[in-house]
Amino acid sequence: MQIAENSAVTIHYTLTNSEGEVLDSSQGQEPLAYLGGASNIIPGLENALIGKAVGDKLDVTVEPEQAYGLVREELVQKVDHENFQGVDDIHVGMQFMAQAPWGEQPVTVMNVEDDGITLDGNHPLAGQTLTFSVEVMEVRVPTEEESSHGHVHGEGGHQH
């Protein structure tokens, strides 16, 4: 069976940036499971896997536009310390959930100064070209429940 829309797929992967630094890997862990066409993984990787079958190995380079997007400057802003009442120690790299017009948005602390705290609402991998080394482990027809829920259940997938 080949990977297509509405396939339950399991892959092992290693993710590196353009400098070759390993950012994430499923090696030594459960493989990653996703449902084809359900936007469970970034578009550039999902598109490259269409038509692949169990045992296929490939390296996929994904530009930012097909990964986590370009860096959007409007998602970087300085806010007053008073927005963090009750938080005693704020340092670079901390992450918080912030209220945005479209709902809750994860933000990362980029800078802490006397006149404010700079937050970045971009995905940490926004603006980066990413390379995935992938091995297809399983391709199957999803269960009715998986199709209706929009994700794979069980090993490597979502647990209810």
Complete domains list, the chain, with CATH: 8-68+126-149 (3.10.50.40), 73-120 (2.40.10.330)
Q: What is the pLDDT of residue 155?
A: 61
Q: Which residue stretches of the chain have pLDDT < 70?
A: 155-160
Q: What is the pLDDT of residue 102?
A: 78
Letter for the amino acid at 98?
A
Q: What per-residue string of b and e applies to 25-64 under the rule 16 or more CB within 10 Å gives b?
A: ebeeeebbbbbbebebbbebbbebbeebeeebeeebebeb
pTM: 0.83
DSSP E strands in 7-115: the ranges are: 8-16, 22-25, 32-35, 57-62, 76-79, 95-100, 103-113
Residue 121 has what pLDDT? 94
In this predicted structure, what is the pLDDT of residue 157? 62
Tokens 């045992």 locate to 55
